[in-house]
């Protein structure tokens, strides 16, 4: 059994991670750390786990007792933790914050998008889990970058559920404001744009086009629905301007070995993916423009589901181990 430690276990991602690992056939949770909840039952915070576990939050850090350590911190805290604590070199780290997602000389974390970096993930001991928006948007664009077709500015609109903002209440997450409401934020300035550009550049070789991303706050709890508009050059049906059939085949070929990312010939919706680790993609074509729709669950494929998928790869398990989940669709 893989022995697991979870840091920052009281938040939304911590609760979802515990839920997945309790049902993972090869995982055993050794500790779930939360300084503010130490001694309390995990189910007192994550009430959906009542009857599922007797696990209690702890305040100590028995790092020597685990094989894999999940960081479910807020952004910026992972770097601080690593500076302040000595983690045994044999312990594998999966960081769900953004601290190490961008490649840099001062760290060796691998960017954990299996659809692009599967082999690098298999051999790594330090992994940076992608952001939720970044995952959804990238999965809609990676095959085009691989083909060298992201040459014009890409217009991206994506709407996310309130859980994407974390568990602490704020003006834009409480019910009275969020219900029956919609708004935009961080227009063209969202932090996930950097990792999106990094991945597209990795596949395409370079990226001169801008990613013009407008994030929306949705009046629902979980899920991300993204549409990306991509423009091509030349006559439709040629390599520089693929028609719909050519694009669908390109995407099916690219994701042919993917465990959770699938191309749908029919329009997609959130209920097909919420509560699962799936990503679904649908392609529409209008002359020299393609509209790529992509949908994920922000807490699963956009966070802890993908983190467990990465753990499976790092530990030599089947990629879908513990992740065959039923969607909320009827």
- Evaluate if residue 170 carries a pLDDT over 90: no
Q: Is residue 321 part of a domain?
A: no
Number of domains forming the structure of the chain: 2
Same-domain check for residues 28 and 65: yes
**Does 57 score more than 70 pLDDT?**
yes
How many angstroms separate the CA atoms of 114 and 312, rounded? 11
- With respect to residue 325, please indicate whether it lies within any of the assigned structural domains: no
CATH number at residue 273: 3.30.360.10
Mean predicted confidence (pLDDT) in 228-253: 98
Task: List the CATH number of the domain containing 309.
Answer: 3.40.50.720
Q: Is 132 assigned a catalytic role? A: yes
Residues 191 and 256 in one domain: yes
- What sign for the dihedral angle of Cα 112, 167, 226, 211? negative
Q: Write out the residue range of the structural domain in which residue 66 sits.
A: 2-130+302-314
The one catalytic residue in 72, 132, 136, 226 is: 132
Q: Is 329 part of a structural domain of the chain?
A: no
75 and 181 housed in the same domain = no
Q: Are residues 18 and 91 in the same domain?
A: yes
Write down the pLDDT at residue 75. Answer: 83
Residue 168 pLDDT more than 80? no
Q: What is the mean pLDDT of residues 94-111?
A: 97
- Give 169's pLDDT tier (boundaries 50, 70, 90): low
pTM, entire model: 0.95
């Amino acid at each position: 059994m893989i022995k697991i430690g979870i840091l920052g276990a009281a938040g939304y991602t911590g609760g979802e991670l515990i839920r997945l690992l309790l049902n993972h056939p090869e995982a055993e949770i050794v500790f779930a750390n939360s300084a503010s909840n130490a001694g309390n039952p995990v189910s007192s915070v994550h009430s959906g786990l009542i009857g599922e576990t007797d696990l209690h939050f702890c305040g100590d850090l028995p790092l020597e007792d685990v094989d894999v350590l999940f960081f479910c911190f807020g952004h910026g805290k992972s770097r601080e933790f690593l500076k302040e604590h000595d983690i045994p070199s044999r312990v594998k780290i999966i960081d769900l914050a953004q601290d190490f997602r961008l490649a840099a000389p001062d760290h060796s974390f691998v960017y954990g998008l299996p659809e692009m970096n599967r082999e690098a993930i298999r051999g790594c001991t330090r992994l940076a889990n992608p952001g939720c928006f970044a995952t959804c948007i990238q999965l809609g664009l990676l095959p085009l970058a691989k083909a060298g077709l992201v040459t014009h500015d890409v217009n991206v609109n994506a709407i996310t559920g309130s859980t994407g903002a974390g568990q602490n209440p704020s003006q834009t997450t409480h019910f009275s404001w969020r219900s029956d409401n919609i708004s935009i934020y961080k227009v063209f300035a969202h932090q996930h744009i950097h990792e999106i550009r990094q991945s597209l550049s990795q596949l395409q070789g370079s990226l001169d086009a801008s990613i013009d991303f407008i994030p929306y706050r949705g009046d629902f709890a979980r899920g991300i629905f993204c549409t990306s508009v991509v423009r091509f050059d030349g006559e439709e049906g040629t390599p520089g301007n693929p028609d719909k059939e050519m694009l669908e085949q390109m995407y099916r070929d690219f994701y042919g070995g993917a465990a959770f990312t699938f191309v749908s010939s029919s329009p997609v919706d959130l209920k097909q993916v919420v509560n699962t680790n799936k990503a679904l993609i649908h392609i529409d074509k209008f002359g020299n423009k393609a509209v790529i729709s992509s949908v994920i669950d922000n807490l699963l494929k956009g966070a802890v589901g993908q983190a467990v998928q990465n753990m499976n790869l790092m530990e030599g398990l089947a990629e879908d181990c513990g992740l065959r989940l039923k969607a909320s669709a009827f």
